[in-house]
Structures are given as structure tokens and as C-alpha cells.
Structure 1
Amino acid sequence: MQFEILSDIGKKRVVNEDGAAVFTLPDGIILAIIADGMGGHRGGDFASRTAIKVIGEEFMKLENLEDKQEIVWLEWLKETIYYVNRSLFNYANDNEDFKGMGTTLDTVLIHGDTCLISHIGDSRIYSINEDEIRQVTTDHSYVNVLIDSGEITEEEAAVHPRRNWIMKALGSERTIDPDFFSLDLKEEKYLLICTDGLSNKVDSATMKNIILSAVSLREKTETLVNLANEMGGEDNISVILLKPSVEEVSME
């Protein structure tokens, strides 16, 4: 498994409220996480980074387990997310400066050829192969509800005044109901996890062309972020690009 991570503040923000990380156990099990915080500079940054830190720490505690086959990964992921949600919600209730904070959360847990995904908010996960780029996740956003009901088109959603409203965020409510998906990695060439700082600026066809281009994994990641900045860079931009096969060696 090859991967690259890049998080950029963008051109207009003074704080990067995004967070991105990849954790790897000695036996090759991987957990990739992206989070996009909200609730003001202080709260958003705290929410996203705390979510990644705590989930990553819980994952790394599994390092010394002799038989991880006994772990039901979906249940582990659910319970860990529920725990972080309660922790953030309670912290916000106890600290006035952090009231209203929350964060999107997308995780990709890779165990052999199996990929388990969790999703909250409007960050996105895409799968890419030679034939297509497919958005695996569905945005938990106000405009997506309007699209699904037929009230507006995708083109209208792109310029809607409430396009940044999300309907679900980690830590903003006492309980949370994430979406879960599974993928067979034998069918996929790349996985892209990104915040809306990328997906709001770069269309999926352009993403596919960049990701399938004949350059290193690092260059692909940098090109995606640089293009989002060239298109305005109003938001923080975070990208994790994973390549399940070992054909390509990542370049620093």
C-alpha cells in the first residue's frame, strides 16, 4: 500500500481547521482519516484534530494484539466513533468557547483486500480505476437533500447560498449515525479522501485525469491541491491518496 497526505491552509483562511493522517500497524493494517472542523477557528481546529488523535490512538492500541482476526472491525470502528462523538459533545457543553463545534469525519480502514469506510459530513471518498471515478460517500449536506428531493439541480447546488450547510457532524449532537461502506480493493486502482476544499473546486473528471497521470503519487497529490488553490483556494484543502497496488513507489 502506497499513500500520500497533504493538507494546505488555502489562500483565504488564517487557520487550517482540516486534519489528515494515516496510521499503520506492523502487520500492514492501515487506517486513513480526514476531518474538516467547524465552529470557529478554535473549535473547528480542536474538533478535527482531537477526532484524528483519539481514533488514531485507539487504533494503535491494537498493535500488540496477537490475533487481530478476532476483531470485528465494523464494531470496533462504530464504538470508537461513538466514543469520540460523546467526548467532543461533552467537552463543548462544558466549555463555552467550544459550543457548536463539530467536524466531518471520513475513515478508511484497510485489512488485506478489504476496505471498510465510515463517513460523516461533506468530506468525500472516491474510488478510481481506469474506467471511472466513483464517489463512494454521499454528502450529508443541505443542498444534497434538495438535490435528492428534486428541488434543485447539481449545477444550482454549486452556487446555492447554503451550499456549505452540513446536516451531520461529529461532536455536534449527543449521538451520531455514520454511513458505513465496504469495498473490494482488487477492483480499485486508487482511493482518494478529501475535504470540500478540493471537491468544491476540482471536478471529478479532472481529479481522475490527474490521479491516472504518469507521475509520482506525491506529484498527483500536490497537483490536486495546487489546482484547488488556483481555482480560488477559499477553504482549507486536505487530500489523502492511496494506491493499493505496489507498482508505483511514492517519491518525497
Structure 2
Amino acid sequence: MYRILFCMDIGMRDNQEDCMYIDGEILQVSNMECPRSKKVDRERLLVAVCDGMGGMSEGERASRFVCEMLKKCSIPFSPEGVYRALFRIQKKFESSGIIWSGTTIAGVFMEGDKSIVFNAGDSRIYKYTSDRLIYISHDHSYVQSLIDKGLISYEEAFYHPEKYIVEFGIGDVFSVDWKSGKKPYILEDILKEDEAYLICTDGLSDYIPDNEMYYLLYPDPFENFRNLLEAVEKVKTDNYSVVLIGLSNTKNKDSSDK
């Protein structure tokens, strides 16, 4: 029912602080032969990427911990179900022994063509359509707060020197935010056969503008996914993880199916 392409790379960093959860599989490697592909012939699908933060190996541990908790969760297919699962993971993190750390999370929970999109932090979900690439998640970051206040435009935020400041996520460093009532961003959506979700950490979205991502993927994101990977390889600095999800009965097939 679902087709997936994905890739992760350590970039120019010493540690891989990204972690990916793809339908029960947890991935956290320095690099992989990309793109990898997967097909899921089930009614439900859960995919997420996490970008850890913290000194030494704490960011690496934080992102993996959240992915491991996702694997253990039984999540009802509803916005409230997703929120409660993330809240429980936050509480588990606070007693995990991982300190002074946290992680972003961005993901899609699907049931057929219905989707629940969620994120905390600045990892992102985009929706590819034939006309454009739509940023459908919502960053919890300093520059996003400037956009929300009308002080800068979305386009200007890409070049802002403080775009790396993350203001929310999962982890003990965000405990006060959760206790004060701050919540992950959660959106219900529908995915059409000619559309796709692109989920990524900021190692991609901070280096390639949205309009460039769209043109690299156009007119078929599954056929042209390699174009996006080749582009980020030229500019990579940070760890990056990226996942492309579509319905498996789309008209075209990606090269890995041929």
C-alpha cells in the first residue's frame, strides 16, 4: 500500500545524532547506500525522523531512545492518540537517565490515504504535489517565532543567522515547556495518489531551499529522489535524514522497482 525511499548520512560531523523510524525499523548509521527502498503492504504506517542534540553522545542516545519508544507504542489513529504517545515518550525520557539532551521529531502516521502529521522541533514534513512543495509541519524554532510575529518572511528565515535555535522537542531540556502546556504540532491530512510526503531533518532543509527541492524532485519525486540526494551531498555539513512516502498504487514506479 505504501512505497518509501530513504537515506541518512553523517555529513561532516563526528557523531550520527539523527535516527529514523520506518515501519518498525530503527536506523542510525553514519552512511548508507542510498536511496534505500521499502514497500509496506499494510493499512497503517508510521514513519519518523529525529535529530538529537546534546554534548558528547547524548544527542545520539536521545534520538535513538525516542525511536525505540515509538516501536514499543500502540498508538490509536487519532490526533489525540499521537499527542498522548508523544507525551508518554517525553515522560519516559525524563526518567531515562539521558540528561541535558533532547531531540526533534517529525513524522507521519498513515491509515490508507489518511494521515496524521506531527512534529516537535525543526525537523520537517513537506507535501509534494504536481504544483509545489508544501511545508505542512511547523517549526518550533526562534526564526519560526519571528515568522509567526510577522517580523521576517518564510523565505528570509532560510538565511537567518539564528535559524539553528530550536525551542521545543522531546527530552529533559524541554521538560519545563511540556509542563507549561506546550504541545507538538499535529495536523490531519489526506494524501492523493500523485502526491508524496517528504520528511527530513534540518541537515537537508537548512541547506536546500524549498523551491529548489521541488524542482529537483519534479515531475516525479520517486524517479528524481536521487537528484535531491546528489544536491545535498554537495552542500552537506550536518547529519541529514530524508524519507519519501507515497501510495504504492501510484502510476509510476521508482527505479528500485525496475
SS in 1 for 2:23: strand
* Mapping 1:20-59, distance limit 5 Å: 20-23=20-23, 27-59=42-74
CA-CA distance at 1:56 after TM superposition: 2.1
Where 1:87 maps in the other structure, the secondary structure is helix
Given that 1:6 and 1:222 are in contact with CA atoms closer than 8 Å, whether structure 2 keeps it comes out as no
Q: Verify the 8 A CA contact 1:189 1:245 in the aligned structure 2.
A: no
User: TM-score, normalised to structure 2's length?
Assistant: 0.81
Q: Deviations over 1:202-226 (max 9, x none)?
A: 11122112222458x3x63343233
Aligned amino acid, residue 241 of structure 1: L
Contact 1:198–1:225 (CA under 8 A) maintained in structure 2:
no
Q: Aligned-pair distance for 1:201?
A: 1.1
Equivalent pairs, count: 233
User: What's the TM-score, normalizing by structure 1?
Assistant: 0.83
Q: How does 1:89-168 map to 2 (within 5 A)?
A: 89-91=94-96, 95=97, 98-154=98-154, 156-168=156-168
Q: Does 1:77 align with 2:92?
A: no
Q: Which position in structure 1 is the counterpart of 2:8? A: 7
Could you tell me which amino acid in structure 2 is paired with residue 224 of structure 1? L
CA apart distance, 1:154: 4.5
- Report the aligned-residue RMSD: 2.3
- 2:231 maps to what in 1? 227
Instruction: Report the Cα offset of residue 31 of structure 1.
Output: 0.4
Point out where structure 2 has 5 or more consecutive residues left out of the alignment.
25-39
- Other structure's SS at 1:226 match: helix
Distance 1:214 1:142, change over 3 A: closer
SS at match of 1:181: strand
Task: Report deviation, 1:87.
Answer: 1.4
CA distance in 1, matches of 2:89, 2:112: 26
Aligned partners of 1:155, 1:184: CA distance in 2, in Å?
26
Corresponding residue of 1:244:
247
The percentage of counterpart residues that share the same residue type is: 29
CA distance in structure 1 between the partners assigned to 2:41 and 2:212 by the alignment: 35
More helix by share: 1
Q: Is the 8 A contact 2:128 2:214 kept in 1?
A: yes
The answer to whether the 8 Å contact 1:118/1:179 transfers is yes
CA deviation vs aligned residue, 1:62-83 (integer Å, no higher than 9, x gap) = 8xxxxxxxx4533332221111
Where does structure 1 differ by over 6 angstroms across 4 or more consecutive aligned residues? none
SS in 2 for 1:173: helix
The higher-RCO structure (CA 8 Å, 6+ apart) is: 1
